[in-house]
Amino acid sequence: MHILNLIRWKNLVMIIIAQVLIKYALFESFNVLTTLSPFGFFLLVTITLCLAAAGNIINDIYDLETDHVNKPNKVIIGNQVSEKLAYNLFFALNIIGIGIGFYLSHSVGQSSFFAIFVMISLALYVYASYLKGTVLFGNLLISILVAMSIIIVGIFDLLPATFPENRPTQMVFFKIVIDYAVFAFLVNLVREVIKDIQDVDGDYKAGMNTLPIVLGRERANKVAFAMSMIPIGAVIYFIVTYLYQHQIAIGYFLVFVIAPLIYATIKIFGAEHDKHYQHISTIYKLVMLMGMLSLLLYPFIIEIN
């Protein structure tokens, strides 16, 4: 159980849900021409989970000093799991993920796609070892990687099966994937800033240079408040542009996505204590989940056209 907590199993379940919904609620339900067999898709999910788990482990290794200040009761490495074992798991998961990625890239006839997995692995290491302690750069990188866990399904499942004859159809669905990836990027970016504000004491002690350390907690709050408006605007634009004829979809987004986003924004404005920021962070995580679950509406929307 300690190792499951170390690799952030709840976050990994979110990745599985997102990728399965893209594959089966979006692509397969509309009989889009795809590349990955069920086994190939399983390999892609496995690769993503291995690399994400490895990233979570190396992040905890480099966060030991800050975690002893910010959440001393939740430190796993050095207590339940030795640092040596953590490093071994980090290397093993990376090797497994990249190795399977090499096989999968060749099996879909796109050997160059292998570089994507290498770049993701390196990016996660660079984030944990250096960029996490910088102003916004680390937040931006990890949010891009979160978005990449969604886009990668389209890259491996749609692009190799795209030809001049079916390109318009394929690109419609790839654009939907991009839209959801942008949503995940925006929501996660705000959440990362909120987490930085929450962890400011430990980060300051570790000599980091995050946004709340540079600006102060009060100004960082104002930046987070302003940033929180962006995903709200993006979702409203998405609804007005693509879903204005579908009342059920509009109702879903208003209740389960926009309303919680507005609630979180209001909470940011008055946040002062760690519990406030933890609550806001949880809301954003739930919003991301509900956003991805909206993919289940697409078959129903098509049926009522």
pLDDT digits (tens, 9 = 90+) for 80-136: 889 999 999 999 999 999 999 999 999 999 999 999 999 999 999 999 998 988 889
Spans of all domains in the chain: 2-303
What is residue 302's predicted lDDT score, i.e. its pLDDT? 57
Rounded to two decimals, what is the model's pTM?
0.94
pLDDT in tens, 10-65: 999 999 999 999 999 999 999 899 999 999 999 999 999 999 999 999 999 998 88
Give pLDDT, residue 208. Answer: 87
d(CA 257, CA 277) in angstroms, rounded, equals 19
What's 133's DSSP letter?
G
DSSP, collapsed to helix, strand or coil, labels residue 305 as coil
The arithmetic mean of pLDDT across residues 182-195, rounded, is: 97
Look at residues 229, 285, 46, 48 and name the one whose alpha carbon lies nearest to residue 145: 48
Q: Nearest-CA neighbor of 146 among 55, 279, 28, 25? A: 55
Percent of the chain scored above 90 by pLDDT?
Answer: 79
Residue 240 has pLDDT above 80, yes or no: yes
CB < 8 Å & 24+ apart, contacts of 283-286 = 284/187, 284/188, 284/190, 284/191, 284/194, 285/14, 285/191, 286/260
pLDDT in tens, 133-145: 888 999 999 999 9
